Amino acid sequence: MNTSNTSLFEPDDTFRDHFSAVNEDGKRNWFYPQKPSGKWHNRRVWFTILILTLLFVTPFLKLNGQPLLLLNVIDRKFIIFGLFIGPQDYWLFGLTMLSFMLFIVLFTTIFGRLWCGWACPQTVFMEMVFRKIEYAIEGDAGKQKLLNKAPWTSDKILKKGLKYTVFLTVSFLIANLLLSYVLGVDELAKIIREPIQEHLPLFTGIVIFTLVFYFNFAWLRDQACTVVCPYGRLQGVLMDRNSIVVAYDYKRGEPREKLHKGQSRSAGDCISCFQCVNVCPTGIDIRNGTQMECVNCTACIDACDNIMDKIGFDKGLIRYTSENAIVNGTNKLITKRVIAYIAVLVLLWSVLAYTIAVRTDTQTTLFRAPGSQYIENNDGTVSNLYTFKIFNKTNRLVHPEIRIEAAGGRLQFAGNPDLTLEGAGMSEGTVFIIMPKSQLKKRKTKLQLSVYQGNQKLETFETTFVAPEE
């Protein structure tokens, strides 16, 4: 076994001249990755069970009668772990998304594409659900190739028909899962129970999403990661030489050479068996170095470890490591760049925490009615006319009451408005503020008003009151 640190590795960059998913004729390379097996795959199976359980259970979880997570992009209502973000709080949503994105940048800088390989729904469903269905029905890679080339016998029709029916069913399930995050399970259950014609747009949405998922998992597959996903495109700028990725230890592996029984070996540990390439779902050769197409699925680690085991070499020729660790034997996870990201993230989270802490349940705007003048009343008071709007920033019913805090002041509403607010709803109206002249020393006086629900003060705000100058 070669343990020398002297690298005989001459990088061959010709692989960069073409895209693995397209052949020389410009046609698509359809990949038939071999069934992965090994320690890392077993870990991924358990992690997938956890992720899928969370994914399917979360829409049913409630906190204070509300969904734990709701991403209603249609009505711009979001609930993130109990925090309701309505249309008025778009800036809060923006801040949450910004800190989430920065967290992803930080995570990727340290751990590379760990997310892609382990938790991304595309990889989880593709490699751990749809691919497994395919293996179960059509067999491993070799059998799949043969079946695709074979004439349309009853066996082929049966296998293909069964596979695509199961694919369509799972896609339908995923479309419903997606909708349960957008509408909530209660609303989804209502749509399922009630006649289709009463919910035609949403039903059409389910059909469209089912077809999109079916197209994605039956045909698009690896290209969703290598062509469509923007996160994949950003890896080049997010990662550095310290990022932990699935990598081939070229110092140990090169020069690669076939293993010949009985011959003494002076080459590196890679025996050019191509098992790492055969299992790769994106069709790349990890021995060429970190590539944008690698989704860190760990299949090549297992494949190589299995070979190393068989030939009596140490495992880990392909492993989770960094470029610096391969070259220098050391790795620095907390770099200046990481510290800078953490600092910005802490700042963002602090701002977010503060804004959430001081956030009120309602948001009221109250302005003097355009063109209106103050009115001097015979009883020694002055009136100003205002228009107001109250927004409910929660997802529950609120019965607001506006009160004036200034001594001697009172409010007289036009009509008898019902200010009851639905979740994320809005009420508006006009109101006179009436103040005793004795309280008004200047032409413009700042007055404080509050919104109450029962005895609970929800919000305090100010307005300007105009009176004749003394």
Q: Shortest Cβ distance from residue 140 to ligand SF4 (Å)?
A: 16
The window from 77-85, 183-191, 284-292, 409-417 that contacts ligand SF4 (CB under 6 A) reads: 284-292
Cβ-based nearer residue to ligand SF4, 178 or 304: 304
Give the number of residues in contact with ligand SF4, rule: CB under 6 A.
29
Cβ-based nearer residue to ligand SF4, 118 or 248: 248
Q: Shortest Cβ distance from residue 249 to ligand SF4 (Å)?
A: 9
Cβ-based nearer residue to ligand SF4, 182 or 270: 270
Cβ-based nearer residue to ligand SF4, 209 or 217: 217
Which of 180, 235, 282, 383 is in the footprint of ligand SF4 by CB under 6 A?
282
Residues 245-264 that bind ligand SF4 (CB under 6 A): 246, 248, 253
Q: Shortest Cβ distance from residue 34 to ligand SF4 (Å)?
A: 10
Q: Shortest Cβ distance from residue 296 to ligand SF4 (Å)?
A: 5
Q: Shortest Cβ distance from residue 11 to ligand SF4 (Å)?
A: 15
The window from 38-46, 81-89, 102-110, 292-300 that contacts ligand SF4 (CB under 6 A) reads: 292-300
Amino acid at 185: V
Residue 432 half-sphere exposure, CB side, CA atoms within 13 Å?
14
Cβ-based nearer residue to ligand SF4, 84 or 248: 248
Residue 431 interacts with ligand SF4 (CB under 6 A)? no
Alpha helices in 184-313 (DSSP H): 185-193, 200-215, 222-223, 230-233, 235-238, 250-253, 275-278, 299-311
Q: If DSSP states are collapsed to H, E and C, what string results for 369-433?
A: CCCCCCEECCCCEEEEEEEEEEEECCCCCECCEEEECCCCCEEEECCCCCCCECCCCEEEEEEEE
Helix (H, G, I), strand (E, B) or coil at 452: strand
**CA 452 – CA 86 distance, rounded (Å):** 20
Q: Shortest Cβ distance from residue 275 to ligand SF4 (Å)?
A: 4
- If one counts every other C-beta atom within 10 angstroms of the C-beta of residue 216, the result is 19
Assigned token pair, 205: 């949405």
Cβ-based nearer residue to ligand SF4, 113 or 163: 113
Of the candidates 285, 207, 275, the residue with the CA atom closest to the CA atom of residue 248: 285
Which of 276, 398, 431, 433 is in the footprint of ligand SF4 by CB under 6 A?
276
Assigned token pair, 225: 């990661």
Residues 294-333 that bind ligand SF4 (CB under 6 A): 294-300, 303-304, 307, 317-318
Per-residue x/- track, 50-69, ligand SF4 (CB under 6 A): --------------------
Note whether 423 and 429 are within 8 A (CB): no
Residues 23-42 that bind ligand SF4 (CB under 6 A): none
- Find how far residue 75's CA is from the centre of its chain: 19
Cβ-based nearer residue to ligand SF4, 279 or 440: 279
Which of 58, 272, 360, 387 is in the footprint of ligand SF4 by CB under 6 A?
272
Cβ-based nearer residue to ligand SF4, 2 or 392: 2
Of the candidates 75, 106, 82, the residue with the CA atom closest to the CA atom of residue 182: 75
Assigned token pair, 366: 């109250």
Helix (H, G, I), strand (E, B) or coil at 353: helix
Element spanning 109, H or E: helix 90-111
Cβ-based nearer residue to ligand SF4, 288 or 392: 288
Report how far apart, in Å, the C-alpha atoms of 299 and of each of 115, 223, 279, 290 are. 15, 18, 6, 15
Binding site residues, ligand SF4, CB under 6 A: 246, 248, 253, 270-276, 279-282, 284, 286-287, 294-300, 303-304, 307, 317-318
